[in-house]
A and B are shown apart, each in its own frame.
Chain A
Amino acid sequence: MNIDSIQNGVVLDHIQAGKSMDIYKYLHLDELDCSVAIIKNVRSGRMGKKDIIKIDSPMEVDLDVLGYIDPNITVNIIRDGKQVEKKHLELPQKLVNIIHCKNPRCITMAEPQLDAIFLLSDPEKHTYRCAYCEAERKR
């Protein structure tokens, strides 16, 4: 299958197979006018299968969102058809307005204009807790 290479944009590589649509949603890629290619189930020596997203626009990618979804993703920045930077991710310590608390007793449910803030509580289990009520969210 052929997908055109991009000139100026971003390639998200090493996405866990099946997770690309989550990323499409969290990064609001549906709002872009440019070409976006979602390539699923690409053969990978390291991962077996992986997904790739190619974005034909030099956009700023929210690394916190990507790190939260999957810290193993690599972000390749393409300029003039060449890779100029490769970013490795880590689990962010703090998430702001990326996920929202589901605890019906939490103040953020009653006052949704408050920033939804989550803090990393257990890096091994990828667990975050609401900064307000401490309710747990797993990835």
Chain B
Amino acid sequence: MNTRNLIDIVDLSVEEIDQLIATAEDIIANPEKYQNACAHKQLATLFFEPSTRTRLSFESAMLALGGSVLGFSEAQSSSTAKGETVGDTIHTVSCYADIIAMRHPKEGAPFAAAMHSEVPIINAGDGGHNHPTQTLTDLLTIHREKGRLNNFTIGFCGDLKFGRTVHSLVNALSRYENINFVLISPLELKLPRYVKEEALKKKGIPYTQTTDLESVMPQLDILYMTRVQKERFFNEEDYLRLKDSYILNPEKLVNAKPDLSILHPLPRVNEISVAVDKDPRAAYWKQVKNGKYIRMALIMKLLGIQV
């Protein structure tokens, strides 16, 4: 049997994503049905870069499926600190675990890992490149908030250049019908050309680019906010200049649709003011919870487990 990995969101077909969402919905409705689904299976979480939500949601997901977890949460506590390659680390861990979720600061590290692994590899974020399980989380959240994954206008706001969650979600949504993309960012942090070319232009999908969030707010059904990530900049001056480009507060939402859904992959710094948390349109805390359920569905799928 060929090992299935999730390195890029496009590794999954639209049908497979729809099936994962259906499984996640069933897990939410009937959690007890899945509590022993992964009994005696082990998930390794290899985090070469810090994370709160992603690592804990993977671990929580595996524990809720009756499995167990092992791993490390920073590169310094692994043999990487001694100079071990990603390939050798993965080769070793795949002797102990049934499935591996890894985060790495270098882009493409999970692709390299998959070449050395005999067990499924899940990309839990590789530098500024991809973050497919966040995308699955986002898709489940949109599906739960809107009841569909087509026919809407979505605005992406903030750091669209280094924001890997944005790249993956744009790619994923480009495969659904009738979605308008509005790209809101400072000129220096625009969506990379290759993402626009591959995901949007080649498919003839309409998109608009702007630096002004408020002018486009009334047309949005979904607003996907992102943080300007300090760790992606080589130059601190550039980070300081751009970090406060967009701060969403209740005043900026005055002209927004009443059924807008506000998403954010979190963590936030100050790009969404705390006052927005009370707005019923804020969906980012629900998004966190959805992340666990969709990861449960994904782990089962990659392990070939059906309930």
Contact = CB atoms under 8 A, between A and B. Distances in A.
A103 B109 CA distance: 13
Chain A, interface residues (CB within 8 Å), range: 20 to 34
Interface in A4-55: none
Contacts of A107: 86, 104, 106-109, 111-112, 126
A113 B194 contact: no
Interface stretch (A61-69, A73-81, A90-98, A126-134): A126-134
B194 A131 contact: no
B164 to A, nearest CB: 11
A134 B194 contact: yes
Contacts of B197: 122
Contact of A105 (B86, B106, B194, B198): B106
A137 to B, nearest CB: 11
B104 A129 contact: no
A105 B107 contact: yes
A134 B129 contact: yes
Contact of B106 (A106, A113, A122, A131): A106
B85 interface: yes
A131 B107 contact: no
B86 to A, nearest CB: 7
A106 B108 contact: yes
Nearest to B202: A122
Contacts of B155: none
Contacts of A1: none
A133 B126 CA distance: 9
Contact of B111 (A105, A113, A122, A131): A131
A108 B129 CA distance: 14
B132 to A, nearest CB: 13
A42 B234 CA distance: 48
B198 A133 contact: no
23 contacts: A103-B107, A104-B234, A105-B106, A105-B107, A105-B128, A106-B108, A107-B107, A107-B109, A107-B111, A107-B112, A107-B126, A108-B108, A109-B106, A110-B106, A111-B112, A129-B194, A132-B108, A132-B111, A133-B108, A133-B126, A133-B127, A134-B108, A134-B129
Interface of B: 85-87, 104-109, 111-112, 126-129, 193-194, 197-198, 234
Interface of A: 103-111, 113-114, 121-122, 129-136
